[in-house]
Amino acid sequence: MARSAGSRAAARPGAAPERLRELPSVEQLAARLEGLPHAAAVSAARAAIGAAREALLAGAEAPGDLLAEARARAEAAGTPSLRPLLNATGVIVHTNLGRAPLHEQAAAAAAGAGTGYSNLEYDLATGSRGSRQAHVEGLVRELTGAEAALVVNNCAAAVLLAAAALCAGRELVVSRGQLVEIGGSFRIPDVIAQSGARLREVGTTNRTRLSDYEGALGPGTGAILRAHPSNFRTLGFVEDVPIEALCSLGVPVIDDVGSGVLASAVPELADEPAVRRSVAAGSAVVCYSGDKLLGGPQAGVLAGRRDAIERCRAQPLARAVRIDKLSLGALEATLRLYRDGRERELPVLRMLTAGEEELGRRAQAMRAPLERAGVDARVVRAQAKVGGGALPLLELEGPACAVDPGAIGLDELAARLRRSEPPLVGRAREGWLLLDPRTLTDVEAELAARAVAAALK
């Protein structure tokens, strides 16, 4: 019988040659995968036979049903890797789960920009080439009071661009307490090095005074960087310098405020630096995120003095880190919600400010059907978190639904829920599964209860 090269294997010591010869050819197995495109069937068959061959060569047992194995591989290959899921962890800006969910208008704007042509860099009034920045710069200026603004693909890129534009070849002064590392091994000293600036550390980890900055300034100073500490906090015997005092020193200040707080009158945001305050203080460039607490897509915004922003705009790195049209459309829609006084509709702010009654009703809506299905489920008190490096000390207390995993155990229940459609991710507490209603909508809470009931059958 003729066999494809993909099904041949030389028997090694310990392998069973007769078992290897029993494996079908790729073409034979692919022909039995009815209903699949030829290329997909061949790919799945080759993968299944290859896995069986490796198992036999290792002295292990091959799958008993190669056809079922190949069909499962074809199904997995046909499922998109990036998929929606249910976030029942209670972490609002969950980095691993996609950070800030978009408002429906922002999602529609992204889809509109992506499904056809647009005036991305075309001026409809004059018929000449335009700038993609024109779609959001006016909104950023209106919302922050800045003279000028520039948008790039994320906040790390914004800091890198600002440092390169204002400080390449010169000293960038930073407090030792702000030389932090955030998620993904992103370190402030590494960013400074990549920008071409020379790091000048001042103060200590817990205390940096205005006199420390004054003593470091000289002819070689390019700028001062104030870096948002993200998840890192020092408590107790601490001291830092307000942005107003830094801006009074007469050198450009790059203020990385991180989370992008534009909303006002939200008590939960009181401990995060506000963008408008930094702009009003006179920062040359204020860098902040377009998602996180701003609640839009991944983006980095630079807002500040016109001369500084123009230097950033002219820096060659600006082209390398420019924002794409999908994110730009979503960001414009998000900023318009702020301009129209509708920022409380943004999912992030809605979850952050959710009240006891709303959360309790949603937790009970998950508990009731689970109890009817014979599952031990209870409403308990739990603490949600903001996440995303924002407000690490803030605990958002409220009701949650706790589920007893029963005989299968928590690990197996969690694995089954990750395989559900859509996948569901909760969190563990003392051997129980915790479903936090803060990061679920009413519809999602209903889907979560169904997924848990099905997983425990």
Residue 10's pLDDT band, with cuts at 50, 70 and 90, is very low
Residue 254's pLDDT band, with cuts at 50, 70 and 90, is very high
Region 400-414 average pLDDT:
97
Is the separation of the CB atoms in 103 and 337 below 8 Å?
A: yes
> Distance between alpha carbon 337 and the CA centroid of its chain, in Å?
21
The pLDDT of residue 301: 98
pLDDT over 90 percentage in the chain: 80
d(CA 318, CA 151): 9
- Of 312, 347, 313, 318, nearest to 330 (Cα)? 347
Q: Can you tell me which residue has the tokens 């601490």?
A: 238
Does domain 104-345 sit in CATH 3.30.70.2740? no
Region 163-171 average pLDDT:
97
Q: Which class does domain 86-94+350-455 fall in?
A: alpha beta
Q: Answer whether residue 306 shows pLDDT above 60.
A: yes
To the nearest 5 percent, what fractions of the chain are helix, strand and coil?
A: 45, 20, 35
The pLDDT of residue 6: 42
| 74 or 397: which leads in pLDDT | 397
Tens-place pLDDT, residues 79-127: 888 999 999 999 999 999 999 999 999 999 999 999 999 999 999 999 9
Average pLDDT, the chain: 92
How is residue 349 written in tokens? 């702010």
Q: Answer whether residue 317 shows pLDDT above 70.
A: yes
Is the separation of the CB atoms in 258 and 230 below 8 Å?
A: yes
Number of residues written out for the chain: 457
Tens-place pLDDT, residues 319-338: 999 999 999 999 999 999 99
pLDDT over 70 percentage in the chain: 96
Q: Can you tell me which residue has the tokens 């980890």?
A: 205
- Of 212, 227, 245, nearest to 162 (Cα)? 227
The pLDDT of residue 184: 65
The pLDDT of residue 58: 83
CA atoms within 13 A on the CB side of 126: 7
Torsion of Cα atoms, 352 then 353 then 357 then 362, to 10°:
-30
Tens-place pLDDT, residues 207-225: 999 999 999 999 999 999 9
| 65 or 255: which leads in pLDDT | 255
- The single-letter code of the amino acid at 128 is S
Domain ranges of the chain: 9-78, 86-94+350-455, 104-345
